[in-house]
Amino acid sequence: MFDNVTIVGVGLISGSLALALKEKGLAKNIIGVSRTKESTDKALKLGIIDEALSLEEAVKKSDFIYVAIPVDVTVAVALQIMDLITPQQIVADAGSTKYVLCQALANHPLRKRFVATHPMWGTEYSGPESAVRGAFSGRSCVICEKDKTDKEVAEKIESLYKTLGMNIVYMEAENHDIHAAYVSHISHITSFALANTVLEKEKEEDAIFELAGGGFESTVRLAKSNPSMWAPIFMQNRENVLDVLNEHISQLRKFKSCLEKENYEYLKELMQNANKISRIIK
């Protein structure tokens, strides 16, 4: 599909994509770009990338440039890349927020060579060593503002994701950010807050280690996520995150009130209502 692919950022998402492109025979050569030599050295050692170049050198050599870096620096880097490409190259991003980026690129002369994507997969780990084989199979990938991208460009990136086993979902950038706040961003805030709660109230680390069961581990797992990645996401999607966070606080208050007032029936009703999620998530 591509001779030379550049991944900007050599971490979890881009590293997993690079492994998948190689495994599926979709790219002959993977170029890595990172702010730190340590990251590209690791990626080279792990076989994720074939060479490491500067951004300018990598873009000049590539058919396809994939940007997977924290969202607070994505806009500036994406604009820099768009100013470097020719009308034959393709650029896509993997960011968890889409509206700010799409607005920033809206009037760029080569906007039609850009595809705004968000593969809905991730773990709490970061860095080249976190890359996973087969990561995207069975997952969804959101493509935003498809109508603003050249038809053949959009189809090529759709084909790439489908070959990796992904289901394509189309959304406008603003709607994407609203729904991402509901199903992804609030989960991370809740996990961070729960971890802080336990660390504050349970001073005995041995007790946490010995007594924490599967339920606690799965709920607090996301609290191990990289703050340098997630703080910018929360800030860039601030209004939507605040909206869902206020609703979450309201729901917590209902549980608190039930316990304070010893209202067993309403407590049970709240949990029964929550059980409805099983119709959507098995």
CA distance linking residue 119 with residue 159, whole number of Å: 14
How many other C-beta atoms are found inside a 10 Å radius of the C-beta of residue 250?
A: 9
User: Are residue 158 and residue 145 in the same domain, yes or no?
Assistant: yes
User: Are residue 227 and residue 130 in the same domain, yes or no?
Assistant: no
User: Are residue 187 and residue 143 in the same domain, yes or no?
Assistant: no
Weakly modelled stretches of the chain, pLDDT under 50: none
Q: Range of 33's domain?
A: 2-171
* Residue carrying structure tokens 């729960």: 194
User: Are residue 255 and residue 154 in the same domain, yes or no?
Assistant: no
Contact 14, 94 (CB under 8 A): yes
Residues 6 or more apart from 254 whose CB is under 8 A from it?
266, 270
What pLDDT, on the 0 to 100 scale, is given for residue 214? Answer: 72
How does pLDDT run across 6-63, given as a tens digit for each residue? 999 999 999 999 999 999 999 999 999 999 999 999 999 999 999 999 999 999 999 9
SS3 238: helix
Per-position b or e across 20-49, b if 16+ CB within 10 A of its CB: bbbeeebbebbbbbbeeeebbebbbeeebb
Backbone phi, psi, residue 240, to 5°: -70, -40
User: Are residue 153 and residue 228 in the same domain, yes or no?
Assistant: no
User: Are residue 256 and residue 196 in the same domain, yes or no?
Assistant: yes
> Which parts of 63-172 fold into alpha helices (H)?
71-84, 99-105, 151-163
What pLDDT, on the 0 to 100 scale, is given for residue 36? Answer: 95
Picking from 171, 198, 231, the residue at the C-terminal end of a domain is 171
- In the structure encoding, which two tokens stand for residue 221, read together? 């797992």
Q: Taking CA 105 as the corner, what is the angle to CA 231 and CA 232, rounded to the nearest 5 degrees?
A: 0
Please tell me the total count of domains within the chain: 2
Per-position b or e across 173-208, b if 16+ CB within 10 A of its CB: beebbbebbeebbbebbbbbeebeeeeeeeeeeeee
User: Are residue 150 and residue 221 in the same domain, yes or no?
Assistant: no
Question: Domain of 14: which CATH number?
Answer: 3.40.50.720
User: Are residue 128 and residue 53 in the same domain, yes or no?
Assistant: yes
User: Are residue 183 and residue 163 in the same domain, yes or no?
Assistant: no
What pLDDT, on the 0 to 100 scale, is given for residue 111? Answer: 98
Picking from 122, 150, 171, the residue at the C-terminal end of a domain is 171
What pLDDT, on the 0 to 100 scale, is given for residue 160? Answer: 97
What pLDDT, on the 0 to 100 scale, is given for residue 191? Answer: 96
CA distance linking residue 57 with residue 108, whole number of Å: 21
User: Are residue 166 and residue 210 in the same domain, yes or no?
Assistant: no
How big, in percent rounded to 5, are the helix, strand and coil portions of the chain? 60, 15, 25
- In the structure encoding, which two tokens stand for residue 51, read together? 């060479």
What pLDDT, on the 0 to 100 scale, is given for residue 34? Answer: 97
Question: Domain of 253: which CATH number?
Answer: 1.10.3660.10
Among 227, 40, 20, which residue's Cα sits nearest to residue 132? 20
Picking from 112, 136, 171, the residue at the C-terminal end of a domain is 171
User: Are residue 94 and residue 212 in the same domain, yes or no?
Assistant: no
User: Are residue 75 and residue 165 in the same domain, yes or no?
Assistant: yes
Backbone phi, psi, residue 110, to 5°: -110, 25
Give the Å distances, CA to CA, from 4 to 12, 110, 140: 20, 20, 25
CA distance linking residue 18 with residue 101, whole number of Å: 23
